[in-house]
Chain A
Amino acid sequence: MMDTITNFSPLSSLSPECSRRRFLGVSGVLVLGASLPVQRALGQTAAPTTFAPNLWLAIDGDGTVRATVHRSEMGQGIRTALTQVIADELDADWSRVEVVQAQGDVKYGDQNTDGSRSITQNYDRLRAAGATARLMLRQAAAKHWGVAVDTVRAGNHEVVHAASGRRLGYGELASQAAMLPVPENAPLKKETEHRYIGKPVTHVDAGDIARGKGTFGADFSLPNMATAVVVRCPWLGGGVKSIANKPTDEPGLVAIETLDAAPSAGPVFAPLGGVGVVAEDTWTAMRVAQGLNIEWTGSPNQTFDSNELRHALRDAVAKPGTPVPGSEKGDVDAVFAAGGTELSATYETPFLSHAPMEPPVAVADVTEERCVVHAPLQDPQSARPMIAAQAGLTPDKVEVTPTLLGGAFGRKSKPDFALEAVELSKRVKRPVRVQWLREDDIRHDYLHASSAQHHRAVIDDEGKPTAWLQRSAFPSITTVFAAQAVQPAPWELEMGFSNLPYTVANQRMESAGIRPGARVGWLRSVCNIFHAFSANVFADEMASAVGRDPIEHRLSLIPASGKLKQPGQPAPPGHELDFARLRHVIERVRKLSDWDSPRPEGVGLGFAVHHSFRSYVATVLEASMANGRPRVSNAYVVLDCGTYVNPDTCVAQMEGAVVFGLSLSLYGDIALKEGAVVQSNFHDYPMLRIAEAPATKVELVPAQGRLPAGVGEPGVPPVAPALSNALFAATGTRHRTLPIRA
């Protein structure tokens, strides 16, 4: 029998233990969800001891502040950053703030932790939440003392009446504040008054993690829980035809369950189906699963070959594609016909797997009345109705609580693995943890799409393009949503393709799509990866064609000021691409990298810049060839993400993005043959290791006062082109295909 590790009530809200966090019982969760009018409507006469003016915070009588974080933590520090915002405007003492992880619930608004937008979307509303509470605490104190509100101020977990020297702690004020009506438009602090926003606060989970106490998906357990490993069909769309050898007397084996293949209709992120091996412990499930001899049914995807797809993508960009509406400027064809110095190049990138350090895993407990899921989900809210459908329950009977995500990069916004746990728990009538093995993770991912780009330009004596034609072809993510979808969606093209920030008098952009025989999905920075790669390398090719310094050249292509008018949907106000900010990160990275100082023979500097997720990132890599392999010695990154909450997190995300970007630049290559992914684990899908990680310097542009932008993703796109350009500078060899092997 498997020992149970924890015995927390399944109704409890999971938050890893630590001084500032704790498990909350049912009442804590309900209090959080209730606003004051609701409490009054319930006929509550006694003064509540907890002050919970909104969804985001509650203050107990002992002064403990519970801040609710409704986004998922995957290493981007969001549990810390959102709490910084709330605690700052509340003027709370950081050591008395606990973090409560929200369950998936529409009451929070969007909970999709994707697209590097948690701060962009929540900065203002969480500041307002904290400020509202602060005002109410001041009102409560003023009322208690019989003085005017504007004579009292809040500071570090207490309200002070300076004239009389009286002070009351937030805990002491909680029950009185709770009786007050919730005001609207509470004043926000001035930037200079911020105590946590803009400061390098240590992550709330850092202590737990360094002590092995953080609760990731696989670390959560329930009494009487079984563990399952699922064997899935190697090709998409196949199902179980037969199992030749079903063991029956294996000690610790609970059940072998056949799961249906994804229905053609139904939830978008439906499980793949296969054979679920449920056992008392993980090793038994793994061993039995490995020994199964399963015959699979066929599917049209069984002939899918990623090499053939690459040929098809290359062919697609060799001929006219679908013009991006509104992208055409001047007359590209006339300039090409007139002749001049012409450059053209084709770039290729392969499929990639997310490979989060923690493979997908989920715990589900389904009974006839309810369903509880604890899992590393990027979007617990959108998962909830899918889980409900799988469990055969209504969403109100379903609780979905995110654990810590051991990395995600987009993989864990698809809840297919949680749905597997739900189905198996329903079948075996006990809690089930579904554990994906690394091999399952690499083979059955929603892959980052393989792509091809073709660039063609006529340049003048300064390397400036007088005409620029660019084409991009890739299997669109929309193919997983719609059976008929083929063409790249506008939002995919707006990731570094249709919003090219360079001044070109004659310009055309065309795209093409192909339906793949595999699931595609979004991976950290998505289409920006290949679009930034091809555009930045091609720009470098223009500069080198006329012997110009790549940074000088690039600056000459960007207007001195103004905002980009991109084809299609305009960017939200305040988030338009600002040429001055783009130039600024370039100029800063030039200084930071000491760009103008010559490097030794055989060592090259490569530069790339990219605007994505509303942020600006310029990257310089210093690289050489060593023993026939690229070696990156130094990385320099400048980030302008507007207002930032935790500068140290921003720096860490850029450091991590360099490593992530180098992994995909040097190793990332998923191939499919006969519908099946060829790679399976880190021996044939390698990751960058410590000895290959460059020393990294990051500079953050002080831009407080500007709208906050994304941080988790935008560091990735410039890395691959900066490496390619650095290797060209070092060796004279152009690398137009990823990964760069030698």
Chain B
Amino acid sequence: MIQQKFWKKLFVVCITIAWTISSCKEENKRMPEDYEVASAWADMTNYITKNTPANTPTFASRCFGYIGLTMFESVVNDSAAVYQSVAGQLNGLGNLPVPEKGVAYNWALALNAGQAEILRNIYIQTSDKNKNKIDSLEQSFETVLKNKTPDGEVVKRSILYGKKIAQLIFEWSKTDGGHRGYLSNFDKKLVMPKRPGCWQPPLYAQSFSHYPLHPHWGNNRTFLAVDSAIDAPACIPFDTTPGSAYYNQFKQVYEKRKVLTQEEKEAAIWWSDDPDVTFTPPGHSYYLATIVIRKTKPGLVKCAETYARVGMAVADAFRNCWKWKYQFFTERANTYVTEHMDPEWQSFWPDPPFPAFPSGHAIQAAAAATVLTDLYGENFAFIDSAHVGRTRDDIRNADFKARHFNSFWQVAEETAMSRFYGGIHIPQDNERGLEKGKIIANNINRLHWKK
């Protein structure tokens, strides 16, 4: 009698366990929405960006360009009636292979294979642990997505297509001047210009390098030929006379430091996006694209278009920005203010290791905001919680608090202003950065994405 009861109980327990396991499995196997596949890969891209040592905003921006473009080109034929490849419109990529006519593809599988392939190749320098993460994301999507496509031939064909697109784009990337750029972050043979107002290696520094970052990045190929032809911004000439336009630029930074509000301090640390501990400033823009995508849940091709536009916009923005930075080679407030206003002055945020004009934060934020506005409209309210949960910044006595925005341009402006609050950019760095970022992004927007 007792024994019977025991077996009964055991039976119930076993059934319960089995059911739990199977339902868990069931849960795992839930077919992901298209936007979920796309944004999961954007998350992975930002994870790799953040967790690969010696990464820089320049190198990262370029990667976002190629990764985003790969995503678009691997799925564009999912909506061939509306969209078209932009490959032929880019700076020397040429047309990419078109899918076979009259046969089926699983485009999410193509995206999955393409993203894994481009990430592994373009971030070849990342750790084996990170490469395993890429592999397992690819594997897990492949497993679920296969269920939707019982035809093994379709699966094979889709994966091959995505991979092929990634490989061709990666081959093209090798010739842009930034390939394996992490091996030459600093050129120790660089002869730096020596004229009044020149950039000086920082003393309150973000990096131990006393050479400026990627001095030749401005010679790299742009994604769009037309972006390379944009005129240089106008820069106020050096002047030490109190009251002069140049002097007043720094005076503003100097005065602002005294009256920084808590909110401004929070903005300054939020947008710092230090490449040593975060996904870099262009990564923040890629992340904003993800916020929009998770909120609006668009179709596969629009998701990919969003990442492609944001990626290429920030890449060309950084390339142009770096060309101008080394053309003008201007100083930071920590140099000018201490020499001409207050020898004890120090910026709120440490100096990055490169010249100031124009601001890289501003130009890439404006570029990203301009493409996102074109795609999703001017008024778009959302919460940015990229850095929520990070340990409080004790040195600057400020917390990482989620930020609310009503438009993308508001983000761009705050990103730019945050560098002014940080004391590492003067107003003209930000203003010219925002202007030029907009022009670059408009060129991206003008590509013939649709038929």
Please determine whether chains A and B interact with each other in the same assembly: no
Which residues of B come within 8 Å of A, CB atoms? none
Which residues of A come within 8 Å of B, CB atoms? none
